[in-house]
Structure formats: structure tokens, C-alpha cells
A = this chain, B = another copy of it.
Amino acid sequence: MELTTTYESNNYPVIVKHQAIDDLADYTAHYQHVFLFVDEQVESYWSSKIQAVNDKQSNKIFVLPSGEQVKTLNYYEQYIEVLLALQPTRQTCLVAIGGGAVGDFVGFLAATLLRGVDFIQVPTTILAHDSSIGGKVGINASFGKNLIGAFHRPAAVLYDLDFLTSLPTNEILSGYGEVYKHALLQGEASVQSLESTYHNQAALLELSHIEQYLIEGIRTKLEIVINDETERGQRQWLNLGHTFGHAVEYQTKIPHGHAVMIGILYQMIVANELLNAEHDIQHYVTYFNSMGYPLHIIEQLSFKPLCQLMQQDKKNNQSGIRMVLLQKVGQPIVQTIPVDILEEAFRTLTLIVKETVYHDNND
């Protein structure tokens, strides 16, 4: 399947298929240098596949520490100097092969090297169906995630589905968080389709029909980011579950998508409270719990530090903490939330989770 963005100019293709990486040369032939950056876990599991790409289509390969740990200014400084030592030019292209962290990190290198060179995303996780699209790149700061970064579109996204077959359970669960979020933004039918296909964790881990849902997720995201690239308006919707989710992720170090699922629950409670929405919280808690998301972790957290982290969120303005709320499934809005409502929602979430998790796990 090949999608193309529909910006006014500088569009890029999104190729979703098995062996997509074999087409890399079609997109890199005209560059002077091609430098591959590969997540160390991907490189170790897929070494012959990666080596074949490197032999044919690359001038140099860099193996990056796996996951979020690479997204620091220290690694940034190290790799930008290494790149500069190779005398890059504006005809240099960087290729990011890995999950969202590798894409964010290499994208930020590309955005700032010589004031911007091209880069190509080769996402290897389910989670990265989200992060590889739309041009958000960046690294973490001591104050929170992705606070240093840029908007820098990839020259192409080659989504090679082969890589998904080696994902560990936790990585599949985490990626499903963003797939589920895209369905919540799309509408009730999308959510029901997902829940019936992946009615339990075992069904999800088989990854049947995953290509269809990834493409639907990508389409949902593209629709939004093409209308609002720099997140002045509706792109904020994509932060559904992320305001509270990022805070939980930062505090607990659970995987991103797991934290987003908890953030989605939290947002439902806030929406019921503030907008008189009628989300069936119990349904979501039960489903997420049965899928294996670590909802119980909420019991170990306190509101105050989470609230401080939410105050760092990029959506905020002078009115306070802003959050995406679903009025109904498929109907997002962005609202400023009074702190007392945030605190109340935290208590409610803790209570419901306690009851459900305790009850279900003792059935």
C-alpha cells in the first residue's frame, strides 16, 4: 500500500508493506551520502537484513542505543559531531531504522545538521506508525519528553511490516495504544472493529489484520497533520491521552502506549465530569485490563507530581493545563481543565482501577 501526503508542496510517500526497506534505493539514489542509523535491538535481530541494506545503499551505519535513552542532548552532541566529521552536504540523507525514539532522534539530527538535510523513516514498531508520520522530531529534556525539537518532514516513510514479527509483547501492546487512540479519534465503528478483532491479548499478539488498522491509523493522522502541521489547532487532537499519559510515562517509565491508554481512561473521566460526556468508563477499564495494560500502576502515584508534569505540556497557555477531551468517541475538543477537576479525576481513576483490577484478577 502506498499513501502520499497532500501538503501544498514537499509531499512524501508512505509505503506500508513487507520488505519495504528493499525499495530504499529508489529513494536514496540521488543523494551524495546515505547514513543509516539503526536501533541496536533491530540490528541484532535483523542483522542480515540490515547488513544487506547497508552493503547496497549506505555509506555508513550507526547502531544506536535502543529506545528513549538515546533522545538526550549528550547523544545528540556526540552524533552531530560524528556526522560533521564525515563532511556531510545538503545532499546527505539520514535513514532512521527503528522505533519512535530512533525516528525522533535521527529526525532531529537531520533537522539541525547544516540547517536541515533530508531523512527517511523506516519504522520497525507498531508504535512508530504514529511517530514516523507528520514530521515531529525531537529529544527529551530533564523537564520532560520531546521538549527540544523541530517540525521536519521525512523525505519518505518505508514501513516494512517484516520487522513487526519480532516485536516483544510489551512493544505490541504499546503500539496498540496509538492504534486505539487513532480509532477513538475516527469514531465508534473504528473502535468496535478493533475491539472485536483484538478481543484479548492473544488475538492482538497474532497481529492478524494489523496492516489494515495501521493504514487506517496513518490515514487518520495524515488527515489531521496535513491541515495543521505545526499544531496550532486540530493537530492537538492527536495528543488524546498524552497529557496525563506523558506524565505517567515520565514518572513510571512504563512504555509510551501503555501510558497513553491510562491517559485515555483519565481523559474519559474528565470528559464525563466537565462536559457531561457519557463514556462507559467501566467498559474501557475492563478492556484495557484484560489486554494486559498495567492500570494498577496508578495506585503507586500521587497527583501532585503528575500535575507538575502536566504543567510542562506544550498545549498549555496562560489559561492553565489544556487537555484533549472526547465529547463522544470521534468528537475531540481541546479544553482548559481546572486543577480541582484534574485532582478529582485522579481519585476516581484510582478507585475504579482498584476495584476492577482487584475484582477481575480474582475472578
> Which A positions have Cβ atoms within 8 angstroms of B?
32, 73, 77, 80-81, 84-85, 87, 89-91, 111-116, 136, 138, 141-144, 146-151, 230-232, 311-312, 314, 316-318
Contacts and interface: CB of A to CB of B under 8 A. Distances in A.
B81 A149 contact: no
B90 A317 contact: yes
Given A115-B136, A115-B314, A116-B151, A141 B81 contact: yes
Copies in the complex: 2
Interface centre among A77, A114, A136 (most CB of B within 10 A): A114
A220 B80 CA distance: 33
Contacts of A150: 111-112, 115-116, 150
Contacts of A138: 112, 115
Nearest to A86: B143
Given A85-B143, A87-B311, A90-B232, 20 more contacts: A32-B318, A73-B77, A73-B80, A80-B141, A84-B143, A84-B144, A84-B147, A87-B312, A87-B316, A89-B316, A89-B318, A90-B231, A90-B317, A111-B150, A114-B147, A115-B138, A115-B149, A115-B150, A115-B231, A116-B151
Contacts of A148: 80, 112-113
B136 A314 contact: no
Contacts of A32: 317-318
Contacts of A141: 80-81, 84
A84 B116 contact: no
Nearest to A31: B318
A81 to B, nearest CB: 6
A116 B230 contact: yes
A120 B101 CA distance: 32
Given A81-B143, A136-B115, A147-B114, A89 B230 contact: no
Contacts of A87: 311-312, 316
A113 B150 CA distance: 8
A145 to B, nearest CB: 11
A35 to B, nearest CB: 15
Nearest to A111: B150
A279 to B, nearest CB: 28
A150 B110 CA distance: 10
A84 B317 contact: no
Contact of A84 (B230, B312, B316): B312
17 contacts: A32-B317, A73-B73, A73-B77, A80-B141, A81-B143, A84-B143, A84-B312, A87-B311, A87-B316, A89-B316, A89-B317, A90-B231, A115-B136, A115-B149, A115-B230, A115-B314, A116-B150
A114 B77 contact: no
A112 B114 CA distance: 15
A97 to B, nearest CB: 23
B314 A91 contact: no
